[in-house]
Structure formats: C-alpha cells, structure tokens
C-alpha cells in the first residue's frame, strides 16, 4: 500500500498523472543517465530473480536493505519517503497494524534501468476500533528506477488500479486515494465466518474486481422447472419458493444436513450461488472430490459437481438481492467490462453470490454478481 517516492524525486511523467485503463499508463520512473550498457541478458535475469524473491518477503522476514540506495525515494497515493529507513519504518507499521498479505503477479523490465511489478495487497484492520472488521484490498504496480553503477533502487513509484490520479495526494491535490481507503474502511457488509471458495483479487478497480477462483465443489439443484423464462434468473427466487412451486434452498439444505444415503450432516458454507437456472451450495473442502461426496437421497434433485474456477469479474452490492436488482448489477458490470475492453465468456451464465442468511440486516448483506471472463492477462502492467 505504501510503496511510494518523495515529491521531489517522483518522475515528472508520473507526477500528477491522470491515467485511464483504456490507454497505456506511462511507466517511466527514471531515465538512463549513464553511458553504461542497459540492464540486460543474464544480469537482468539475475536482478529480477533477486528482486522478485526479495519482494515476496516484504511483510514476512522483510526486504534486503542493501538492494536500495540510502536516499531511495518512495511515493504512492497516500505516503512519501525520501530514505530507506523511512520506507522500512512504513513497512514495519503496516506489518504490525494491518497484517498485510502481498502477492506479486509479474515482474518485467520497462526501461533500460527500470523494472516494474504488478501486485495485490490484502489487509485486515484491528477489531478495535473497527468492530465491523473491514478488509482492504489494493492492486497496482510498482515502478523501480535502478542506479546503473550500484544496481540499487533509487526511485520507487506505486500506482493503484482503483484511482486515475496517481501520485502522493498532497502533491497532486487529488483525494482519490484517501476516498478509496475510506470507501473500503466504511464498507459495513458482512461475510459470515464460514468456509468459502478461495480467490485472489487480480484487479480492484473503482467499481468492480477481477478475481481468480480456485476450483471448488458444489451441490446443485434447479431453480425452475421447464419454464425457459426463469432459466437465467439471478435473484433469491430459490430461497423463497418459485412460481412453479418447489424450494431449491430447502432441497440443498436438506441434502447438506443429512438428506443423503450416509445420513451425514455437513458444515454450512457461504455463499449461495444462483444463476443459469441453478442454485448451488459450496461443499466443505473436507468432502474431498466428487466421488467422496455423500450420495443424495434423490439424485434426480441434487447433483454434486466440481466448479473449475477461473477468472471472474465481480461487482458487489448490499441489500436484498431481488431478481431485478441482481440483473441491474449484471448489466452495469457488463457495461464496465465493455468500457475496459474485457470480454465476458458467453458460454458461462452470470451468477449471484449471496453470503448472508435472511435474518442479516439488509444494509449489511454482501451480494456479488459474477461474470466469467473469456481471457485475462494477469501480469499486464498498463491496465
């Protein structure tokens, strides 16, 4: 989060830059000021390997101080430092207060003496005073200028995907970075402390996320009979009953809580998925594979399948997830994807993920509409 450079040292092409995901973001952190040959070949491969390994320990054992110049300058949308000691202090503060998890997705040479990385950082806030337990996620890039003689990092500039005005906010006059932090801190939607499919946020944009899900098992049943008009419903129809009769939620709950040949009761999970004419409960990991799942009492009503995971765009909203509300968010997400030149996989229907039970206050309910992407370049640095 705070991986940034001093105002005076910030690259002129970055200072106050307003970027768009539809255009290539300038990545120049430092111009080559030496007549020395550019970093290349085996030296480049070794350097990137060392830097990649070092950054992987950012919030565990810590970075290698010798890789950075004593007067290295850092800048991100919230902070700025002019020395390595200031930067190390900030890393220590983040580690001790926010319990951050840093994931680097790619590293590449972006100039003669410049290396850039793409990353995700997830953080949790202490329960005092943040009793609603918000979590923070940032994705972005780090652009590092390297001294040709010492091979030390002299300039380090961070960008966030969620904002367009990059650079330390007191220099740019933009409050976008502060607003993004406050938006996440003040998100009072709740996710129950239940087992849930694992995913990594690859991009957090202003209005939606791109996530990579691991494979997971589900128990599923139909949310309609033969009514084609109901085949693509996303909302909570299965939780309250359907016009054609039946109660898909009750069918799956019955299976999970002992309605199977083994009379085995399994742990509740979250979320409940609906979409494409189906409702799905996530199966506990302890079940193992499909072949290990208890056989339903009525195999025609309940099936256990593996979801292959993959990369999905997700847009979140609070409240009661009616069919109309969910469809509205799906349309909004597709509009945003089109603007960002991301293509939805038309072979996979959109789905709604509902995380909370009906007794949860609507303003605290977490709902996500998910759209599978046809392809996605995880390591891309410019958008």
Tokens of 228: 């084609």
Mean pLDDT, each 10-residue run in order, the chain (383 residues): 36 41 44 67 95 95 96 96 95 94 96 97 93 95 96 97 96 96 96 96 98 98 64 50 68 95 96 93 96 96 96 97 91 97 95 95 96 96 86
Q: State residue 244's pLDDT score.
A: 52
Phi then psi for residue 235, to 5 deg, are: -75, -160
Q: What is the spatial distance between Cα 76 and Cα 162, in angstroms, rounded to a whole number?
A: 13
User: E-strand spans in the chain?
Assistant: 68-75, 80-81, 101-111, 114-124, 135-146, 153-160, 199-204, 209-213, 216-222, 272-275, 278-282, 303-307, 310-317, 351-354, 367-372
Q: What is the spatial distance between Cα 323 and Cα 311, in angstroms, rounded to a whole number?
A: 24
Instruction: Give CA angle at 50 (45, 54), nearest 5°.
Output: 150
Q: What is the spatial distance between Cα 383 and Cα 381, in angstroms, rounded to a whole number?
A: 6
Range(s) within the chain of domains with CATH label 3.20.80.10? 190-383
User: E-strand spans in 76-197?
Assistant: 80-81, 101-111, 114-124, 135-146, 153-160
Q: State residue 8's pLDDT score.
A: 35
Interval 202-252: pLDDT, tens: 999 999 999 999 999 999 999 875 544 454 556 544 444 454 556 899 999
Provide the β-strand partners of residue 191. Answer: none
Cis peptide before 271 (omega within 30 of 0): yes
Provide the β-strand partners of residue 136. Answer: 123
Range(s) within the chain of domains with CATH label 3.10.450.50? 41-185
Q: State residue 273's pLDDT score.
A: 95
CATH topology of domain 190-383: Multidrug-efflux Transporter 1 Regulator Bmrr; Chain A (3.20.80)
Q: State residue 234's pLDDT score.
A: 60
Tokens of 103: 């994931």
Cis peptide before 129 (omega within 30 of 0): yes
Q: What is the spatial distance between Cα 368 and Cα 351, in angstroms, rounded to a whole number?
A: 8
DSSP conformation class of 166: -
Q: State residue 103's pLDDT score.
A: 96
DSSP conformation class of 206: S
Q: State residue 250's pLDDT score.
A: 92
Q: CATH classification of 41-185 is 3.40.1390.10, yes or no?
A: no
């Amino acid at each position: 989060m705070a991986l940034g450079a001093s105002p005076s040292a910030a690259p002129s092409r970055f200072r106050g830059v307003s970027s768009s995901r539809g255009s290539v973001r300038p990545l120049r952190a430092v111009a080559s000021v030496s007549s020395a040959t550019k970093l290349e070949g085996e030296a480049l491969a070794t350097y990137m390997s060392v830097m990649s390994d070092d950054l992987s320990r950012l919030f565990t054992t810590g970075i290698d101080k010798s890789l950075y110049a004593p007067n290295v300058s850092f800048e991100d949308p919230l902070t700025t430092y002019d020395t390595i000691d200031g930067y190390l202090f900030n890393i220590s503060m983040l580690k001790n207060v926010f319990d951050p998890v840093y994931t680097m997705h790619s590293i590449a040479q972006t100039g003669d003496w410049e290396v850039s990385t793409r990353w995700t950082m997830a953080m949790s806030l202490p329960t005092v005073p943040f009793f609603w337990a918000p979590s923070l996620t940032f994705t972005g890039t780090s652009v590092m200028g390297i001294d040709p003689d010492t091979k030390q990092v002299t300039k380090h500039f961070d960008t966030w995907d969620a904002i367009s005005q990059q650079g330390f906010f007191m220099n740019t006059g933009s409050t976008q970075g502060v607003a993004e932090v406050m938006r996440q801190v003040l998100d009072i939607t709740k996710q129950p402390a239940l087992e849930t499919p694992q995913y990594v946020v690859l991009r957090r944009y202003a209005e939606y996320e791109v996530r990579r899900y691991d494979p997971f098992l589900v128990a599923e049943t139909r949310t309609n009979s033969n009514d084609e008009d109901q085949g693509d419903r996303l909302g909570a129809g299965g939780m309250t009953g359907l016009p054609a009769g039946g109660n898909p939620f009750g069918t799956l709950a019955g299976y999970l809580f002992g309605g199977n040949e083994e009379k085995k009761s399994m742990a509740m999970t979250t979320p409940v998925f609906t979409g494409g004419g189906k409702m799905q409960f996530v199966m506990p990991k302890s079940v193992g594979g499909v072949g290990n799942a208890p056989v339903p009492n009525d195999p025609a009503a309940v099936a256990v399948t593996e979801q292959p995971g993959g990369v999905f765009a997700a847009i979140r909203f609070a409240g009661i997830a009616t069919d109309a509300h969910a469809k509205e968010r799906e349309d909004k997400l597709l509009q945003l994807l089109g603007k960002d030149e991301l293509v939805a996989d038309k072979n996979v229907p959109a789905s709604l993920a509902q995380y909370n039970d009906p007794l949860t206050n609507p303003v605290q309910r977490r709902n996500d509409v998910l759209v599978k992407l046809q392809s996605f370049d995880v390591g891309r640095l410019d958008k």
